[in-house]
Amino acid sequence: MSWNVFRFCTVFRGLGFVMVLLVLGVVGLTYYTVVVTSYGPALFNGGFSDCLLALGVLILFHALLMMLLWSYFSIVFTDPGGVPPNWKPIIDEEEGEASAMCVTEFCRLQSEPASQRIRYCRKCNQFKPPRSHHCSICGRCVLKMDHHCVWVVNCVGALNYKSFLLFLFYTFLETSLVTLCLLPNFLVFFSDQEIHINPGGLAVTFIAFVLDLAFALSILGFLIMHISLVARNTTTIEAYEKNTSPKWCYDLGRRKNFEQVFGTGKLYWFLPYYSEEDNKRMPSLRGLEYPLRSDFENEGS
């Protein structure tokens, strides 16, 4: 008797909600350390230079924190994109081959024959478009799936990949800022200077510094990896699955690859949100040109 480990994937989904609380706990600990213990008191009790420094740190800290939380909850509550009901690939009846729609005209012309085969998900019992993959934790196929992230209790796919990247970006900036701001207090442990913080506050500062430094270093690696994936229009899954070919059929050039994820509106690049113009053209911009057979039948009638 063979065991199917994916039967227990729902356990990981439940664990994800614990991870959300863990993220909020780390954010709360960091907020308490920076605002309540360190720079909040300096804002009112310090000299002019200390007050000015504390004000600048607190403004930047709260701005990055707002963007971090906005991006984070955008991932949590945004559907990554599911396969449309009754989706079927377009069949070329004359040639008897599947013309499984690639994302753009470029892909339609240059995609490899292997990518044109009909893809069927045995778990969902339906056809699935190119670049979509079945997530055993969510129990469905996800468009342009990158990976399932337990930290956000959601898949990272076509519709929330931008929010995921911005979350990494703002988390790295926030944790780096906190690490630099808490570094003087952290060095107190290894010096003979007089300690102006109570032992409890000093312990919290030590823990927050270590946690934020660890997050900053680890997230930097993920951020660099995903930036390279965006530049090649490749997901994490595709990076391991695709053949070592000289030309990846979805690579449209760095600029267009970037716009496919972040949109064309420059004012919205750093926001987990799209302009109205980009929202209208998002299906093609995100690589979701997966028409139903019925759409073409209606056009021909």
Is 178 within 8 Å of 30 (Cβ atoms)? yes
Q: Exactly one of 107, 141, 149, 181 is catalytic; which is it?
A: 149
Question: How far apart, in whole angstroms, are the C-alpha atoms of residue 37 and residue 198?
Answer: 9
**DSSP per position, 199-244:** HHHHHHHHHHHHHHHHHHHHHHHHHHHHHHHHHHT--HHHHHHS--
Residue 249 annotated among the catalytic residues of the structure = no
Q: How far apart are CA 7 and CA 2, in angstroms?
A: 12
The residues carrying an active-site annotation are 149
